[in-house]
Amino acid sequence: MANKKGSDGRYRYRVCIGKDETGKPKYKSFYGSTAKAARAAAEAYRTALGKGMDPAQSKATLATLYDNLISAKTAKGIGQKSLDRYEDNKNHWGPLLDQPAADLRTADFQRILNSLAQWHNGKPPLSHFTLSNLRSSAKAAYELAIPEVVQYNPIVKTTCPAGADPEHREPITEEQQQWIRETPHRAQRAAMLLLYSGLRRGEATALTWADVDLKEATITVHSGYNFKDKKIKDPKTEAGVRVVNIPKILVDYLKTQQDDCLYVLHTVKGHRMTEQAWKTLWSSYMADLNAKYGYHGEESKKRPGGLPMLIDTFTPHQLRHTFCTLMYFAGVDVLTARDQMGHKDISVTLGIYTSLDKKFKKKKINRLDSYLKKQTG
């Protein structure tokens, strides 16, 4: 029933929503600047009730939907690691979190997915795998909320972007190697170690100064950090346990880097590196290299939104692969290279060498021509 205009200038429309415990009718009031607006609000409420929606939750935010999902998953007894992943996914949606979930549309989510698939705010793009997990978690949060909170799932029609290129195995260029050698940064120690020892990232994370013999120019690898389990573990294969001979350039560099920390690579506070610490460190490193070599130091990396990436970035694993490439060019035989890299199966090392053979076959033939010319000249 409609009432007259109130003292505050608004119109009120009352709807009977049932009876209380004593059998008396219960009413809910709706207000509007006009009688028509007040009635429309009341009708919307009735429609929502008819569809099974709880109007009291009509303003529930996306963050609330995620919290409900996490609570449901917790009740099912899933592990803490999975719960943490849901929390991480939730935070990726940033500006959408505080908005009513029922008001968000497919375009809103697509916009965020697209931005996360590119360099954004100085952060590297997410992989397709991570973006797919993010999309799936939001879809699950909405599915759980139908029909009480929302009437449809806007995630269904979104498209998961390609995201960052899969971690490719191309070696870095000579120019990029020079950047590593000549650019001071907190990540330089990690980059130099991976580039000139070929250690895996987990092996480098577990490496202590006691494992480094600068006099003999060797590194003893007997364990690796498992980022998934967050534990230091023995190598998966016997080949992983090895003594790596390191070149003089790394020996000389490490002599300038020795400190009182247990681990060769560590956080600012001296703790062992974690997955997040690696991500933060490497993101900062790429941003610094981009500012120096992409913009020649003429732009500040702290510019709002970050600097668009002009350089070809590289991953820690590419540095390991580059070390294998350097051994190939230095003429190191494949058996020695296998031992240095810690490959269980020599076919892995042969695969790398064979690939490089095909790629640089023309250069080798040119060297043969030069040699024969000297012989016959």
Whole-angstrom CA distances from 304 to 147, 289, 301 are: 40, 18, 9
How many angstroms separate the Cα of 58 from the Cα of each of 43, 55, 151, 269? 14, 5, 10, 46
**Mean pLDDT of all residues in 328-336:** 93
pLDDT value at residue 295: 84
Q: What band does 4 get if pLDDT is binned at 50, 70 and 90?
A: low
The domain that contains 74 carries what CATH number?
A: 1.10.150.130
The rounded distance, in Å, linking the Cα atoms of 327 and 321 is: 10
Q: Do 125 and 267 fall into the same domain? A: no
- pLDDT of res. 306: 66
Q: Hey, CA dihedral for 131, 85, 321, 190, is it positive or negative?
A: positive
Residues 34 and 101 in one domain: no
Question: Are 272 and 208 in contact, with CB atoms under 8 Å apart?
Answer: no
Q: What is the pLDDT of residue 167?
A: 46
In contact, 326 and 288? CB cutoff 8 Å: no
Per the model's pLDDT, the better-predicted residue between 68 and 8 turns out to be 68
Asked if 86 and 62 touch (Cβ cutoff 8 Å), the reply is no
Task: Say how far apart CA 50 and CA 54 lie, in whole Å.
Answer: 10
Under 8 Å between Cβ of 100 and 60: yes
Residues 242 and 283 both lie in one domain: yes
Give yes or no: residues 137 and 69 share one domain: yes
Number of domains in the chain: 3
Residues 226 and 203 both lie in one domain? yes
142, 103 Cβ separation under 8 angstroms? no
pLDDT tens string 203-219: 999 999 999 999 999 99
Q: Provide the pLDDT for residue 112.
A: 94
Query: Do 37 and 75 share a domain, yes or no?
Result: no
End-to-end CA gap in the chain: 110
pLDDT at 127 over 70: yes
pLDDT (tens digit per residue) in 176-209: 999 999 999 999 999 999 999 999 999 999 999 9
* Average pLDDT value for residue range 345-358: 82
pLDDT value of residue 358: 74
Q: Is 21 domain-assigned?
A: yes
β pairing state of 25-32 and 11-19:
antiparallel
Check whether residue 44 and residue 82 sit in a common domain. no
Whole-number pLDDT of residue 254:
97
Tell me: the pLDDT tens digits for 7-60?
677 787 777 766 667 778 777 777 777 888 778 777 776 666 655 555 556 678
Among 31-35, 54-58, 63-67, 297-301, the minimum mean pLDDT is found in: 54-58
Asked whether the predicted pLDDT for residue 239 surpasses 50, the reply is: yes
Name every residue whose Cβ is closer than 8 Å to that of residue 254 and which is 6 or more positions away in sequence. 192, 193, 212, 214, 264
DSSP codes, 33-83: SSHHHHHHHHHHHHHHHHTT--GGGTT-BHHHHHHHHHHHHHHTT--HHHH
CATH number, position 222? 1.10.443.10
Which residues share a beta bridge with 18? 26
Asked whether residue 354 carries a pLDDT value surpassing 60, the answer given is: yes
> Using CA atoms, how far apart are residues 80 and 94, in angstroms rounded to an integer?
22
Which has the higher per-residue pLDDT, 98 or 344? 98
Residue 334 pLDDT level (bands cut at 50, 70, 90): very high
Mark whether 76 and 100 lie in a shared domain: yes
Residue 153 maps to a domain: no
Partnered with residue 232 across adjacent β-strands are 225
Say yes or no: 192 and 268 in one domain.
yes
Question: What is the pLDDT at residue 350?
Answer: 86
Host domain of residue 185: 174-344
CA atoms within 13 A on the CB side of 90: 21
Residue with tokens 């505080």: 98
Say how far apart CA 274 and CA 124 lie, in whole Å.
18
Residue 215 lies in a domain: yes
Torsion, CA 31, CA 36, CA 39, CA 44, rounded to 10: -100
How far apart, in whole angstroms, are the C-alpha atoms of residue 150 and residue 60? 9
3-state secondary structure (DSSP) of residue 186: coil
Give the pLDDT confidence of 307-326 residue by residue, as tens digits: 788 888 899 989 999 999 99
Q: Are residues 202 and 306 in the same domain?
A: yes
Q: Examine the domain organization and report whether 46 and 66 are in the same domain.
A: no
